Amino acid sequence: MNKNTKKNVLNIFQARKLNILFIGVIVMMLFTYIYSYQVSVTFASSIESFEDKISNMESEISELEVQLVENKRGVSKSIATEKGFVALEDVVFIKRNSETALNAISN
């Protein structure tokens, strides 16, 4: 073999190595992209799931708070009669009159 043929064979061999390396890099980049996409979708769905759980817990907490306030401030008819409260038959409502209302004192 002459020198030019050896150089051509080496160049073809090196070009083949570079092509294989280039294809390997492209395949690795493709797998990396697919993996990162899958991870981001999984992360987004888990965040959505956690937000749903948080909103459910917040609604349960608010319902319990309403029940607590009703139980603290609620007065049943039997408790009211035990304390001496009675229902009035003739109820008179008084309307606010601007003439009798207190005026703010200014300095």
Q: Locate 89 and state its tokens.
A: 């038959």
More confident residue, 38 or 4: 38
Distance CA 33, CA 27 (A): 10
- Give the CB-side neighbour count of residue 13, counting CA atoms within 13 A: 6
What distance in Å separates the CA atoms of residue 45 and residue 49, rounded to the nearest whole number? 6
pLDDT tens digits, one per residue of 63-95? 998 888 877 777 677 777 777 777 777 766 666
Which conformational region is residue 61 in: left (phi greater than 0), alpha (psi within -120 to 50 degrees), or beta? alpha
Q: Find the mean pLDDT for residues 96-104.
A: 59
Average pLDDT score over the chain: 80
Q: What is the pLDDT of residue 104?
A: 47
